[in-house]
């Protein structure tokens, strides 16, 4: 049996039914056979890779799985794609950690529309079509039609600067609204499905410093972009240089995101949003992203954010907890995270309420505007527990301190409990704000100096 497995692997062909092999081993000892429900098909994406494939054989491998799903194994190497890989219920994607790289094939290219493109049309005229290839995926968006209103489709033909599309336009896209076409797409996409996993691989978007100046942030272009997916797991991913967020999971129930590193992405490192309920985002690192390390967006509920490190991001470590829709984000627990050296706040609570922010460490934030932003910002927030946190600025000399306040409470905030926090070494004040009197603030330790200095 060992020789059979080694021979199969040596030819790069992992088509075997893994649990059947295990069952054969067991059969030799016990003469037992597994149930059909215990069998999982495993296919190797390299067996499906051809010169015609726009996904290095990965989409073809997914499509080859039976209706109930199975595992697509992506071996070592750089697997270049020019369109999104669409997953369905029961599909698991597995790689070999950072040695398995899924990368965008082409450099970032975008061009303005030369003429208005109206709803229902299947062609668009652009100023320059030289960076597009028939069969590849593009995104069409404008200042008025973006996010859920952007269009993701496939190019079927190009004649001069007229690009023919696989799908009809769902909105109007107008030159006066800065409409443009980009050769960008998610690496992995799933919608209206369940029981999906992506594990142990790297995704590289190829974003350059020049791209960062000119490409709009678009969350539907995130490296991993799920919508209405239940019981999904994203684990062990390295996502970098993507022209969107790193990992974006919108709506659905029970999302688990763990042990991932998301860095140098144009938008947020991690993005739970749009009514997502339940799940946990744990032991992740979000660093050097253009916006927040982790961004709460619109009615996220019953979700744990714990044991993560968010640092050196362009906005907050954890941003916008509370925003969006009736009631906003609520009943979430943000606990045991390290948020440091971010441009704005360590943790931002903005709008909504009924959340718990406890036992986090927020240090040396407000790097982008020294003195302006606190360790924890509380704005228009109610019925939230903020306890046991450690907010500090240990930078020396005193003139180099950046985190102006430990906790800043502003706007219409009311009925919060702010207790048991230790706050030291801030240039402005420990706990401050025009809304403090409307919350319970007690048993906090506030010191102007930090001990020991200059950690």
How many Å apart are CA 69 and CA 86, to the nearest integer? 13
Please report which confidence band the pLDDT of residue 29 belongs to, taking 50, 70 and 90 as the band edges.
very low
User: How far is 244 from 448, CA to CA, in rounded Å?
Assistant: 40
Q: Are 360 and 337 in contact (CB under 8 A)?
A: yes
Confidence tier at 6 by pLDDT (50, 70, 90) = very low
| 132, part of any domain | yes
For the four alpha carbons of 49, 51, 56 and 61, in that order, the dihedral sign comes to negative
Domain boundary among 240, 271, 302: 271
pLDDT of residue 455: 62
On the question of pLDDT at 421 being above 80, the answer is yes
- Evaluate whether 179 touches 75 at the Cβ level (below 8 Å): no
Structure-block tokens of residue 27: 């059969």
Residues 409 and 267 in one domain: no
Which 8-state DSSP code applies to residue 84?
P
Question: Does 164 score more than 90 pLDDT?
Answer: yes
Residue 65 counted as domain residue = yes
Q: Phi and psi dihedrals of 221, rounded to 5?
A: -105, 15
pLDDT (tens digit, 9 = 90+) per residue, 75-119? 999 999 999 999 999 999 999 999 999 999 999 999 999 999 999
Q: How far apart are CA 293 and CA 255, in angstroms?
A: 18
Q: Does 307 lie in the same domain as 258?
A: no
| Residue 282: inside a domain | no
Note whether 66 and 37 are within 8 A (CB). no
Question: Which residue, of 137, 167, 182, is where some domain finishes?
Answer: 182
State the Cα–Cα distance between residues 394 and 283, nearest whole angstrom: 25
Same domain, 165 and 212: no
Helix (H/G/I), strand (E/B), else coil: 278: strand
Six-digit token pair at 110?
Answer: 């975008």
Is residue 209 within 8 A of residue 245, CB to CB? The reply is no
State the residue for tokens 């922010």: 357
If DSSP codes are grouped into helix, strand and coil, which group holds residue 438? helix
Query: Which of 379, 321, 324, 305 lies closest to 354, judged by CA?
Result: 321
Question: Do residues 309 and 371 share a domain?
Answer: yes
Structure tokens at 121: 């049309």
DSSP state of 216: P
For residue range 375-398, what is the model confidence (pLDDT) as tens digits? 999 999 999 999 999 999 999 998
pTM of the entire predicted model: 0.90
Question: Cα–Cα distance between 341 and 139 in angstroms, integer?
Answer: 34
Q: Is residue 430 assigned to a domain? A: yes
Note whether 205 and 56 are same-domain residues.
Answer: yes
- pLDDT for 27 equals 31
Residue 138: closest CA among 228, 243, 258: 243
Angle at 100 between CA 95 and CA 101, to 5 degrees: 125
Contact indicator for 336, 315 with CB cutoff of 8 Å: no
Task: Give domain status of residue 286, yes or no.
Answer: no
Last residue of a domain, one of 182, 197, 230: 182
Q: Does a structural domain hold residue 284?
A: no
Residue 328 in tokens = 């906003």
Range of the domain at 157: 110-182
% of the chain beyond a pLDDT of 90: 86
37: Cβ–Cβ under 8 A, 6 or more apart, which residues?
Answer: none
Tell me if 105 sits within 8 A of 82, measured CB to CB.
yes
Q: Is the pLDDT of residue 32 over 50?
A: no
DSSP result, 27-55? HHHH-----GGG--BEEEGGGG--TT-SS
Backbone angles phi, psi at 110, to 5 degrees: -150, 150
Contact between 203 and 224 under an 8 Å Cβ cutoff? The reply is yes
CATH number assigned to the domain comprising residue 412: 2.160.20.10
Is 203 inside any structural domain?
yes
Q: Are 376 and 259 in the same domain?
A: no
DSSP letters along 362-417, please? Answer: EES---SSTTT--SEEEES-BS-EEES-EEE---SSGGG----EEEEEETT-BS-E
Quick one: 384 and 321 in the same domain?
Answer: yes
Task: Tokens for 232, please give them.
Answer: 């999904």
163 and 23: one domain? no
Query: Same structural domain for residues 232 and 259?
Result: yes
Same domain, 318 and 404: yes
CATH of residue 130's domain is 2.40.30
The answer as to whether 285 is a domain residue is no
Where does 54-109 show beta strands of DSSP type E?
70-73, 77-81, 85-87, 91-94, 100-104
Please give the pLDDT value at position 454.
62
| pLDDT tens per residue across span 272-314 | 999 999 999 999 999 999 999 999 998 999 999 999 999 999 9
Looking at the fold, whether 407 and 330 belong to one and the same domain comes out as yes
Considering the domain architecture, whether residues 95 and 198 belong to the same structural domain is answered as yes
Are 101 and 81 in contact, with CB atoms under 8 Å apart? no
Q: Which residues contact 142 (CB under 8 A, 6 or more apart)?
A: 173, 174, 177, 178, 179, 180
Burial class (CB in 10 A: 0-12, 13-18, 19+), 322: buried
Q: How many domains does one find in the chain?
A: 4
């Amino acid at each position: 049996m060992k020789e059979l497995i080694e021979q199969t692997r040596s030819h790069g062909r992992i088509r075997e039914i893994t649990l059947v092999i295990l069952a054969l081993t067991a059969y030799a000892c016990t003469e037992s056979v597994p149930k059909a429900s215990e069998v999982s098909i495993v296919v190797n994406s390299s067996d499906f890779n051809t010169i015609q494939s726009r996904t290095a054989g990965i989409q073809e491998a997914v499509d080859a799985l039976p209706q109930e799903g199975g595992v697509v194994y992506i071996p070592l190497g750089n697997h270049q794609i020019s369109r999104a890989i669409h997953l369905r219920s029961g599909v698991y994607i597995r790689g070999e950690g950072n040695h398995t790289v899924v990368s965008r094939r082409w450099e970032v290219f975008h061009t303005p529309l030369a003429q208005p493109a109206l709803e229902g049309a299947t062609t668009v005229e652009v100023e320059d079509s030289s960076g597009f290839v028939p069969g590849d995926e593009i995104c069409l968006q404008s200042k008025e039609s973006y996010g859920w209103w952007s269009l993701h489709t496939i190019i079927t033909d190009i004649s001069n600067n007229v690009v023919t599309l696989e799908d009809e336009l769902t909105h109007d896209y107008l030159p006066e609204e800065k409409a443009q076409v980009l050769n960008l797409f998610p690496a992995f996409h799933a919608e209206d499905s369940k029981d999906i996993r992506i594990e142990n691989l790297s995704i590289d978007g190829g974003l350059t410093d020049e791209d960062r100046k000119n490409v709009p942030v678009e969350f539907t272009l995130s490296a991993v972009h799920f919508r209405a997916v239940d019981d999904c797991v994203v684990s062990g991913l390295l996502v970098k240089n993507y022209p969107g967020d790193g990992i974006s999971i919108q709506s659905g129930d029970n999302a688990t995101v763990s042990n991932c590193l998301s860095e140098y992405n144009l938008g947020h490192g991690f993005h739970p949003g749009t009514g997502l309920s339940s799940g946990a985002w744990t032991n992740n690192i979000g660093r050097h992203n253009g916006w927040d390390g982790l961004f709460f967006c619109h009615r996220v509920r019953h979700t744990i954010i714990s044991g993560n490190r968010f640092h050196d991001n362009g906005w907050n470590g954890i941003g916008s907890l509370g925003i969006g829709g009736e009631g906003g984000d609520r009943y979430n627990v943000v606990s045991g995270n390290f948020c440091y050296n971010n441009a704005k706040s360590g943790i931002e609570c903005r709008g909504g309420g009924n959340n718990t922010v406890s036992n986090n460490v927020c240090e040396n934030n407000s790097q982008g505007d020294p003195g302006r932003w606190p360790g924890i910002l509380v704005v228009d927030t109610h019925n939230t527990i903020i306890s046991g946190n450690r907010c500090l600025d240990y930078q020396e000399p005193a003139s180099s301190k950046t985190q102006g306040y430990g906790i800043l409470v502003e706007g219409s905030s009311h009925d919060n409990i702010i207790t048991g926090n230790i706050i030291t070494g801030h240039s402005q004040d420990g706990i401050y704000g025009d809304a403090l009197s409307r919350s319970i603030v007690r048993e906090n330790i506030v010191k102007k100096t930090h001990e020991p200095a200059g950690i």
